[in-house]
A and B are shown apart, each in its own frame.
Chain A
Amino acid sequence: DIVMTQAPLSSPVTLGQPASISCRSSQSLVHSNGNSYLSWLQQRPGQPPRLLIYKISNRFSGVPDRFSGSGAGTDFTLKISRVEPEDVGVYYCMQTTQFPHTFGGGTKVEIK
């Protein structure tokens, strides 16, 4: 199974300041079709998860452009350019390159 490791566990951020979350996979996420199926999800308190970024760097429909994803191979990053109050929640990376699909442990973003 591919193990997804996120850092940090918690990220206290000042409103309007950037935030960055790291995710590392235990093996390459490059699929046989050449795509890397690394996604980022946001889960606000009491809500189901919401897809933010797919295939490393593509913003899903309706996601603000302050969210961006980058990386390749086994190292990936989610960046929030300017944290807003509605960004509070837990962020998960996820790989869907192969079964079993696996999630990182989550990073809690909170306001300082």
Chain B
Amino acid sequence: EVKLVESGGGLVQPGGSLRLSCAASGFTFSNYPLSWVRQAPGKGLEWVSSISASGDDTPYAESVKGRFTISRDNSKDTLYLQMSRLRGEDTAVYYCTKEWDKSDDSHYGYWGQGTLVTVPS
């Protein structure tokens, strides 16, 4: 069973930093791209960033480019999102997702429960 468990959210002051983690299990972590998607309170879904299986490709949303860094540790089956220079508009639940499934070529089939990041504005 695929499982994604996010951690690291919390309250952080504007301009501060935070690192989110996502512990994965139930699949061969190093074979798959992963993504972060966020959802501001009462709002829709926004793609934040993705990382290829090797870690070589890391596209970002314009809204976070230069402030957030996605990374992965394939030896620990863990995905990270380092967030710096945080702003009020970064307040959201951050979801870790398995971006692609080889068996059926589906995208975003698996999501974690999310972790809340709050940046007072």
A side interface size, CB within 8 A: 26
Interface residues on chain B, size class: 20 to 34
- Chain B residues 39 to 72 lying within 8 A of chain A, measured CB to CB, are 44-47, 50, 59, 61-62
Cβ-closest 6 pairs across A and B: A54-B106, A101-B47, A96-B107, A48-B111, A99-B59, A103-B45
Give the residues from 10 to 58 in chain B that come closer than 8 angstroms, CB to CB, to chain A.
35, 37, 44-47, 50
Decide if A102 is an interface residue (CB 8 Å cutoff): yes
Q: Which residues of A contact B107 (CB under 8 A)?
A: 37, 39, 51, 54, 94, 96
Is there contact, CB below 8 Å, between B95 and A102? no
Given A49-B95, A100-B59, CB of A54 within 8 Å of CB of B45: no
Would A49 and B45 count as touching, CB distance under 8 A? yes
Q: Which A residues touch B59, using CB under 8 A?
A: 99-100
* Interchain CB contact under 8 A, B106 and A55: yes
Are the C-beta atoms of A92 and B45 separated by less than 8 Å? Answer: yes
Give residues in A with beta carbon < 8 Å to B: 35, 37, 39, 41, 43, 48-51, 54-55, 58, 60-61, 90, 92, 94, 96, 99-106
Contact residues in B for A96 (Cβ distance below 8 Å): 99, 107-108
In angstroms, how far is the closest chain A Cβ from the Cβ of B37? 8
28 contacts between A and B (CB under 8 A): A35-B105, A39-B108, A41-B45, A48-B111, A48-B114, A50-B111, A54-B106, A54-B107, A55-B105, A55-B106, A58-B104, A58-B106, A60-B104, A60-B109, A94-B107, A94-B108, A96-B99, A96-B108, A99-B59, A100-B47, A100-B59, A101-B35, A101-B47, A103-B45, A103-B46, A103-B47, A104-B44, A105-B44
